Amino acid sequence: NSSIDVDQRLIEEDILVTQAHVSALEKLKVISKNETKKIYQGLNGILNDYQKGKIKFSKKNEDIHMNVEYFLHQRIGDIALKIHTGRSRNDQVATDIRLYVRNEIINVHENIVVLQKTLIKLAEKYSKSIIPGFTHLQVAQPVTFGFIMMAWFFMLERDKSRFIDSYKRVNISPLGAGALSGSSHKLDREYVAKLLDFDGITSNSLDSVSDRDFIIEFISNSSLLMSHLSRFSEEIIIWASTMYNFVDLDDKVCTGSSIMPQKKNPDVLELIRGKTGTVYGQLMNILTIMKAQPFAYNRDNQEDKPALFNCVDTVMISVQAMNICLENLKLNEKVAKFSAKKGYSTATDFADYLVKKEIPFRDAHEIVGKVVAHAVSKKQDLDELSIEDFKSVSSVIEEDIFDFLNIEGSVRSKKTSGGTSYEEVNKQIEKAKNIIKEYEKN
């Protein structure tokens, strides 16, 4: 039954919750003012000793709740026997974890912001650097590196908003729900909620002690965040491969091979990608823990904590590690730009050129297809063809075609809002900076 090895992590939350509960008991005159003071002091002393590493938990006392009560009894004597009046470990543990998850939402949010700031820096540094944009991992159209960094920024922005949205469902107090049906001591639940900085109280005691939806939500939001980090990792790993060589990773996020002296392996990114599996696993874990539980509390719920803590640790270190990888990322601008020209990446711009000469897009598409086939047979890029090559396929094509075939022109022309033109990416960077500014104000 013992869970102390895992749930000792909740000691601070548990002490805060007990102190608030004791204040409610004092309000009811179940505990005197003087006793309340002694309990507060005793609990603070336990926390202090814990922080100094002087506390030795015992498995005999099962979990964090009973260990704390035991230590308190040792310190202040029989007054400690009163603290559990009108309370059950069921509402106690539910309250402890809500406090814990609430803090971790803020924590993960802060870590994401650090990563987003790094993305803004990279976007600014490489706002004019051209790199191939892919579809199906085939060169599609030229884009800027800044454009891609901003794409990641806004992906992370959604992650942040999901965590923040869940906060309102986490930050309500179940304390006072008792074992399942409430308490005959008329505890002032609103008062307790206020002491613990909750935004309100839960509405039904049965639901309060059995609800772990907020943990499922946290791990689910974490899973989506990890999915994004994993995709970034994968993309950078591809970019850093010998064949692509678009980016250089710092030595500190790579390792060599024990046998091949020339190797520089992107281990940290691979670990982030791998750890995504750990977090997905915990999502399946918590969903399965909850799926067949009748009301209300069942001991199955004790298994929520290994799932939650493992998810928290994995997500935090992954976001931080991704930040380190990006902080030291260098774009090989020449290689990236050279590759952006490959694969006839300005073929769409060519078709758009023909549309401007009043050729319907479908026909333009066909003409471009023919020219590309011609270029392929000559083993040349589009801008290496002669004007005669173009004219042999369509007479409307003039010398000005060459302005449309260069990749800078292509990037410049993508002026729709959200597009990859320099001005549009600058707008995205401004928007991103404002988001961060707003956040830092609050």
399: number of Cβ within 10 Å: 8
Specify the residue, 146 or 176, whose C-beta has the smaller distance to ligand ARG.
176
346: number of Cβ within 10 Å: 26
CA 302 to CA 136: how far, in whole Å?
45
Q: Are 125 and 152 in contact (CB under 8 A)?
A: no
Determine if 7 is a binding residue for ligand ARG (CB under 6 A).
yes
Active-site residue, from 136, 184, 395, 417: 136
Q: Which stretch binds ligand ARG (CB under 6 A): 88-96, 106-114, 163-171, 229-237?
A: 88-96
Specify the residue, 4 or 435, whose C-beta has the smaller distance to ligand ARG.
4
Binding-site member from 38, 87, 89, 212 for ligand ARG (CB under 6 A): 89
Q: Which stretch binds ligand ARG (CB under 6 A): 27-35, 85-93, 366-374, 395-403?
A: 85-93
Annotated active-site residue 258? The verdict is no
CA 161 to CA 150: how far, in whole Å?
17
Specify the residue, 303 or 389, whose C-beta has the smaller distance to ligand ARG.
303
Q: Which amino acid is at 18?
A: T
Annotated active-site residue 257? The verdict is yes
| Terminal-to-terminal C-alpha distance of the chain | 43
CA distances from 21 to 168, 250, 318, 403, 404 (A): 22, 51, 37, 74, 72
Compute how many residues bind ligand ARG; rule: CB under 6 A.
10
**Residues β-bridged to residue 132:** 142
Specify the residue, 5 or 251, whose C-beta has the smaller distance to ligand ARG.
5
Among 423, 180, 157, 135, residue whose Cα is nearest residue 294? 180
In angstroms, give the least distance from the CB of 11 to ligand ARG. Answer: 13
Within 162-191, which residues bind ligand ARG (CB under 6 A)?
A: none
Determine if 3 is a binding residue for ligand ARG (CB under 6 A).
yes
Among 307, 319, 302, residue whose Cα is nearest residue 268? 319
Per-residue contact flags (x/-) with ligand ARG for residues 295 to 314, judged by CB under 6 A: --x-x-xx------------
Specify the residue, 246 or 297, whose C-beta has the smaller distance to ligand ARG.
297
In angstroms, give the least distance from the CB of 96 to ligand ARG. Answer: 9
Q: Which DSSP symbol is given to 369?
A: H
Pair of tokens at residue 95: 């309250």
Q: What is the DSSP string of 258-289?
A: SS-TT--B-HHHHHHHHHHHHHHHHHHHHHHH
Determine if 428 is a binding residue for ligand ARG (CB under 6 A).
no
CA 66 to CA 81: how far, in whole Å?
11
Determine if 93 is a binding residue for ligand ARG (CB under 6 A).
yes
In angstroms, give the least distance from the CB of 59 to ligand ARG. Answer: 12
CA 193 to CA 36: how far, in whole Å?
18
In angstroms, give the least distance from the CB of 70 to ligand ARG. Answer: 14
Per-residue contact flags (x/-) with ligand ARG for residues 25 to 64, judged by CB under 6 A: --------------------------------------x-
Pair of tokens at residue 307: 């799932």
Binding-site member from 18, 36, 67, 90 for ligand ARG (CB under 6 A): 90
Active-site residue, from 32, 161, 241, 257: 257
**Rama region for 397: left / alpha / beta (φ>0; ψ in -120 to 50; rest):** beta
In angstroms, give the least distance from the CB of 124 to ligand ARG. Answer: 47
In angstroms, give the least distance from the CB of 181 to ligand ARG. Answer: 13
Among 82, 94, 74, residue whose Cα is nearest residue 14? 94
In angstroms, give the least distance from the CB of 20 to ligand ARG. Answer: 18
3-state SS string for 125-148: HCCCCEEEEEECCEEEEEEEHHHH
Which stretches of the chain bind ligand ARG, using CB under 6 A? 3, 7, 63, 89-90, 93, 297, 299, 301-302
Q: Which residues belong to the active site? A: 136, 257
